[in-house]
Chain A
Amino acid sequence: MTKRAPDVSASPPRRRSKYTLAPLVLIAANAVLFALFFLWPAVIGLVYSFTNYTGVGAFQFVGLDNYQHLFGDSTFFDALSRTLLYTVLFVPLNFVFSLLVANVLVSKHAKGVSVARVFFFIPWLLSPIVVGVLWRWLFGENFGLVNYLIEKVGGSAVPWQSNADLSLIVVVVAASWAWTGFSMLLFIAAIKNVPTSYYEAAALDGAGPWRQFFSITLPSIAPTSFIVILLNTIHGMKEYPLFASLNNGGPGTSNNLLVQYIYQTGFKAGQIGYASAASFVLMLILMAVAIIQLMVNRRVENR
C-alpha cells in the first residue's frame, strides 16, 4: 500500500478528462459483469436476508427474524465457533512455516534452492479437493501411512477421522501445507527488499543470525506479515472444499463450517432468506477483520 502511493503522485497533474468515450468502452464489459454478478446479488442478498424467501414463489418481509433466529441457532454457533477455531489454528501455523521456508529459500548458503522451491510450490497448485483427498489418504485410520508409521514405532493407531478435534487438526495441517507456497512468495519478495546494508551493519556489530532475524528481518517485513495474516484469515473463514473432501465436515456434523452451513441451509433446505442472513454475518466478520488489520497496519507504519 505504501509502495503504490508514490506511483500515483509521481504521475504529472492530469488534464485528461476530455476523454470519455475511450475509457467507457474499455470498462464496459467489466462494468456489466460488476452490475450483474456483484451489485445485483449484493443488493438482493441484503433484501432477502429480511425475508422468508425459499428461492421460488412469493416471499414476505420478516424484518430481523432471520437474524434473531440465527442467534438462537446452536447449529449456526457451532459452525461459527468451529470456523473461528480453525482460522485461529491455521493462520499462525501457516505464518510460521511459510516464513521459515521463505527465509531458508533466500539464504545465500543453502544449496539446491531452485529445485527445493518447486516442492513448496506444488501443494499450492493442487485444488483443495485434491489436497483433501491426499490427506484423507495419508491419515486413514485403518490404512493410512501415518497410522502405519505410528504403529511401526510402537504406538497405537490414532483416530484421525472419528475424533472431532483430531479431524480438525488434520485439516489445519493440510491447509497450512497447501498454502505455504502462496504466503512464502509474498515473504520472499519482502525479505529480498530489505536492504543488505542493514545486515552488514548488524554483522559488524556482532549480531548473530537469530538476532538479525528478530531485529531486522521481522520488523522490516511487518507490512507483508499483516497482509499474509489478513489474506489467510479471510481464506480460513471461507474454507469449505478442503473439509468437504477431507472429512465431509465429520465426524458427523461436528466440523461443519460456516460456508457449509450457508450452503446447506440455502441450497439443501431452500431457506434462501435465512442463508442470506448467515452470509451477512460472515461478511461482517470478514469486514471487521479487514478493518482491524488496516488499523493495526497503519499504526505500525506511522510508528
Chain B
Amino acid sequence: MTTTDMPRKADADSARAVSRKRPRGAVGGGLRRAVPPTTLLWVLAALYGLPVLWFVLSSFKPAGDLFSLPLTLFPEDPTVSGYKAAWDSANFSQYFINTTIVCVIATILTVGVSCCTGYALAKYDNKWLKVFFVGILATTMLPGEVMLAPQFLVVRDLGLYNSLAGIILPAVLTATGCFMFRQFFLTVPDELIEAARIDGARELSIFLRIMVPISRPIMLTLAILSFQWRWNDYIWPLLMLNDPEKFTVQIGIQSLVGAQNINWSVVLGGSVISMIPLIVVFLVFQRYVMNANINAGLKD
C-alpha cells in the first residue's frame, strides 16, 4: 500500500527527483516508471471525483451555511435536514416509489422480451425473422426523441396517458437488449440445441430449460443497464405524466430547480437521494458492468 499511497500524495516532479537520487535498483526503476502514470491517473480521478464530492458534502450543510463565506469543503456541523426537507416536500417519497415501480417492472419485462427475441434472431432462420431484425435495427436509427409527438399520440390513444404503464411499455423494446442476447446466443454452439432435439425436447422447453439459464450473465448486465436507463429517464415521463402523484424522481428534481427561487438545501438533498440506488447497484455489480460483453451490445 505504501507504494500506491506515496505517488498519489507526492507531486510528480519531486517524486521523480526522489527516485532519481536512489541507486538504480529494481524497486527504484519500478517506482520511477509508476510515478508519471499514477500521478496522471489520480489527478484525472480527482478532476472527475471532486465535483461529486463537493456536491455530496454540501448536501450535509445546514441551509444557512450553504452560502456562508469562506466556503468550506467539510460541513462544520453536519446535518441531514436537507434530506429530510427533500423527502417530506413535494411528495418526494411518492416519486421514489413511482420510479422504483417503473424501474423494476420495466427491467424485468425488458430482460425477458430481449432474451426471447435475441434467441430467436440468433438460432432460427426464417425470412420474416430477418425482416424483423432489420426493423429492430431501424429503431436505433430513429431514436425516441425524434418521434416524441407521434409516440405520445399513440400512447395517449391506447389510453395509457398519465399512467406508469405508459412509461414502462414503450421502454421495453430496446435494440441494445436484443443485440446483446443475439450476440450471446450466436456463441452458443448449435450442437447443444441439436442434441436436445434428438433427445425429444420441444423448442420452447429447450429455450426455457437450457438457454435461459446459461444466459444469466447477459441478463444481469442488461438488467443493470435497463435499471439505469429507466431511473434516469426524464423527457418521456415528463410528457406522459400529468398528475403530481405519479411523478418520477427526475421530474421532481427538475421541478425543484425550475422554480423561481431555488431552495438549494432541498435540491441537494433530493439529488443525492436520487443517486443512491444506482450507486448501490453499480457497486454491487461492478464487475459485471466493467467486464461483461457490454461492448458488443452497446455498440449497436
- Cβ contacts under 8 Å, A127 to chain B: 231-234, 250, 274
With both beta carbons as reference points, the residue of chain A lying nearest to B172 in the complex is identified as: A33
Contact B69 A27 (CB under 8 A): no
Interfacial chain A residues near B132, Cβ < 8 Å? 27, 31, 34
> Counting CB contacts under 8 A, is A201 at the interface?
no
A42 touches B235 (CB 8 A): no
Distance in angstroms between the alpha carbons of A29 and B190 in the assembled complex: 24
Q: Are A279 and B235 in contact (CB-based, < 8 A)?
A: no
| Complex: A16 Cα to B153 Cα, angstroms | 40
Count A-B pairs with CB separation below 8 Å: 290
Q: Which residues 97-146 in B have Cβ within 8 Å of A in the complex?
A: 112-114, 116-117, 119-121, 123-127, 129, 132, 135-136, 138-139, 141-143, 145-146
* A67: interface (CB < 8 Å): no
Least distance between A292 CB and chain B CB atoms (Å): 13
Residues of A within 8 A of B18 (CB): none
Assess whether A227 is interfacial by the CB under 8 Å rule. yes
Within 8 A of A (CB), among B149-204: 149-155, 158, 169-170, 172-173, 178, 183, 186-187, 190, 203-204
Chain A positions 236-272 with a Cβ under 8 Å from a chain B Cβ: 238, 240-241, 244-245, 248, 259, 262-263, 266-267, 272
* Interface bits A256-294 vs B (CB < 8 Å: 1, else 0): 000100110011000010011001101100110010000
Q: Mark A199-215, 1 if CB is under 8 A from B, else 0.
A: 00000000000000000
Chain A hits for B119, CB < 8 A:
26
**Chain B positions within 8 Å of A40 at CB level:** 150, 154
Cβ–Cβ contact A120 & B38, under 8 A: no
B26 at the interface (CB under 8 A from A): no
The one of A1, A12, A111, A287 that contacts B38, using a Cβ cutoff of 8 Å = A111
Known contacts A12-B190, A227-B299: A45-B150 contact under CB 8 Å = yes
- Interface flag for A68 (CB, 8 Å): no
Chain B residues with Cβ below 8 Å from A118 are 283, 286
CB neighbours of A121 from chain B (8 A): 282, 289
Cβ–Cβ < 8 Å partners of B250 in chain A: 127, 129-130, 241
User: Is A58 positioned at the interface, with any CB of B under 8 Å from its CB?
Assistant: no
> Is A104 within 8 A of B149, CB to CB?
no
What residues on B are CB-neighbors of A48 within 8 Å? 149-150, 153
Among the 9-residue stretches B43-51, B75-83, B88-96, the one with 4 or more Cβ atoms under 8 Å from chain A is B43-51
Which of A20, A117, A133 makes the CB contact (< 8 A) with B126? A20
Most chain B C-beta atoms within 10 Å of own C-beta, residue among A3, A133, A287: A133
- Between-chain CB contacts (< 8 Å), 15 pairs: A4-B183, A20-B126, A29-B113, A37-B151, A48-B149, A111-B8, A112-B8, A118-B286, A122-B48, A122-B52, A266-B152, A267-B239, A276-B149, A276-B150, A290-B141
Given contact pairs A112-B42, A134-B271, A262-B149, a sample of 14 additional A-B residue pairs in the complex whose CB atoms are under 8 Å apart: A8-B186, A16-B125, A34-B173, A111-B41, A112-B41, A116-B41, A122-B279, A133-B253, A134-B55, A138-B54, A185-B290, A263-B148, A282-B145, A286-B142
B residues lining the A interface (CB < 8 Å): 3-4, 7-8, 30, 33-34, 37-38, 40-42, 44-46, 48-49, 51-52, 54-55, 58, 66-67, 69-71, 112-114, 116-117, 119-121, 123-127, 129, 132, 135-136, 138-139, 141-143, 145-155, 158, 169-170, 172-173, 178, 183, 186-187, 190, 203-204, 207, 228, 231-235, 239, 250, 253-254, 257-258, 264, 267-268, 271, 274-275, 278-279, 282-283, 286, 289-290, 294-296, 298-299
**Partner-B contacts on A (CB < 8 A):** 1, 3-4, 7-8, 11-12, 14, 16-17, 19-23, 25-27, 29-31, 33-34, 36-42, 44-45, 48, 55, 100-101, 104-105, 107, 109-113, 116-123, 125-130, 132-138, 142-143, 145, 148, 177, 180, 182, 185-186, 189, 227, 234, 238, 240-241, 244-245, 248, 259, 262-263, 266-267, 272, 275-276, 279-280, 282-283, 286-287, 290
